[in-house]
Amino acid sequence: MEIYIWLTLGAAILHALSFTLAKRLWLHTGDPVEIVAFSQIACAVLALPVLFWIRLEPLWQQAPTISAVCAGIVIAQFAFTQAMRTGDASFVVAAMGLKLLVVAVLSAWWLDEIYHPLVYFGGLGALASLFLLSDGRPPKSMRAVFWVLVTCTLFAGIDVMIVHLLRHGLSVSALVVSVLVGPSAILLPLLLLRVSRHWSVDLPFGRDLSLYALTQVAGLVLLMLAFALSGKATIVNIVQTSRALWVLPVVYVLSAWGLTGLEKLTSQQYRWRLAGGALMVLSLSAVIIAKP
């Protein structure tokens, strides 16, 4: 199995964990601006030391595309935060797989990506598994669906632009720093206008932010390496949908450990979602067998 597939699977597991931990941030504040700002800053702090070790010239050369990526991340984070606020973590993470549709269209149009038919069959199977992962019925909150669709569209465009930047010579380290530090820079004027004396980070909030940032950044590094090694957006996104499968044991284990702020799943829900997970595994297996 290609190394980039292993890297994408690792990123999917880490992001299943980080996205689930993001749900807990609502325990500390009800302000979405505060959540997005602090979570972005926490990730940027981890990336700042690397800033002194990368060449800045390639960043200036690709400044328009990098700026579009960073602005898209900020808006997508707001949309994702609203999705997590209005929907179950396990549903939202699973439904993020809808990004596949947009990525496939954009990649064929902009990146000229064409695959073996088995790859597209696997992608359709991964999408079908999302129905089972949402308990075989329409989701409870249509607001959550709306915000998920907005998030998926934005992140799909971001992924395609990231592959474009990598193909044009931007290093993985420079790209990782850009997508972590850039959004915080964009948010800075908003923070100066919106900052509230009620905003504060106590020890529990700081702990949850740190756990989120560590898992999010680690997953992002693996994902960027996967994009760089494959040079493709669609195939990586197909494998990335496996986070909808990994989020089930993540929610179960975190809930068993007593972490609050997560949904409680019934045994019936676990059966539905395990069936969806099985379909997703078969779909991803088809993609891997095709060796795109």
**Residue 281 burial class via C-beta count within 10 angstroms: exposed 0-12, middle 13-18, buried 19 and up:** middle
Tokens in use for 238? Answer: 């197909």
Give the start-end residues of each E strand in 4-163.
none
Portion of the chain with pLDDT greater than 90, in percent? 14
For the whole model, what pTM was predicted?
Answer: 0.74
Mean pLDDT of the chain: 79
Cα separations (Å) of 234 from 76, 99, 175? Answer: 19, 10, 19
The model's pLDDT over 169-199, given as tens digits with 9 standing for 90+, comes to 888 888 888 888 888 888 877 766 666 656 7
More reliable by pLDDT, 206 or 237: 206
- How high is the pLDDT of residue 215? 93
Q: Summarize the confidence of residues 138-160 as an average pLDDT.
A: 83
Give the start-end residues of each E strand in 26-151.
none
Provide the pLDDT confidence category of residue 68 given band limits of 50, 70 and 90: very high
CB 18 within 8 A of CB 89: no
Q: How far apart are CA 107 and CA 58, in angstroms?
A: 23
Q: Summarize the confidence of residues 12-28 as an average pLDDT.
A: 85
Mapped onto helix, strand or coil, the DSSP state of residue 13 is helix
Portion of the chain with pLDDT greater than 70, in percent? 83
